[in-house]
Chains A and B, each alone.
Chain A
Amino acid sequence: EADIYQTPRYLVIGTGKKITLECSQTMGHDKMYWYQQDPGMELHLIHYSYGVNSTEKGDLSSESTVSRIRTEHFPLTLESARPSHTSQYLCASSESELNTEAFFGQGTRLTVV
């Protein structure tokens, strides 16, 4: 069983609020990812990280930002939430470039009203 955790599981928040979605893994994985997924749809990569102090934008443009100050922690922040940000956000991690098997957290379902 993968040791990667996301909090909160569910979040309902008003427009304009700043939010941070937490993601932590205890496996010592270098690579971490954030995906955005609408219900029943495909996963879109919005951010990824090779390791500490490394972050890259993914394929889908996102107004969110990420940081990687510690190996185990990869939080995602929205400075000003909007209804268009309503979605499920999934965090994942993988060991290295040679081992690309990614393990996912349970996700955060965000609703912006």
Chain B
Amino acid sequence: GQQLNQSPQSMFIQEGEDVSMNCTSSSIFNTWLWYKQDPGEGPVLLIALYKAGELTSNGRLTAQFGITRKDSFLNISASIPSDVGIYFCAGPPTGQGAQKLVFGQGTRLTINP
């Protein structure tokens, strides 16, 4: 099936640093979704992107829908301890299978106080 590749797989940063992560695909996506998952909980939707080139913010989080429609980026500014968790990108692949959401492997964020 169609896959989303996230990088980096894990990040270890100091509190207050900015964070950047990305998600790429070999095929075109019309929607990009970014989720955060805390241990033992379900993923929570952070940002949804629907248009190529779109840049959307949610507090300290900013995400962009790549122009090629094959990638997306998530940035977190001035990280705080509660940002710790796993961040997933997701989207419905175009064409056959457009009814379902596929997820990337996740980026695990660890913050040293």
Residues of A within 8 A of B (CB): 6, 31, 33, 35, 40-43, 45, 48, 50, 56, 58-59, 90, 92, 94, 97, 100-107, 109
Contact = CB atoms under 8 A, between A and B. Distances in A.
Contacts of A97: 98-99
B33 A43 contact: no
A42 B42 contact: no
Given A48-B99, A107-B40, A42 B105 contact: yes
A41 B105 CA distance: 7
Given A31-B99, A43-B103, A45-B100, A100 B43 contact: no
Nearest to B97: A59
Given A100-B33, A106-B41, A48 B108 contact: no
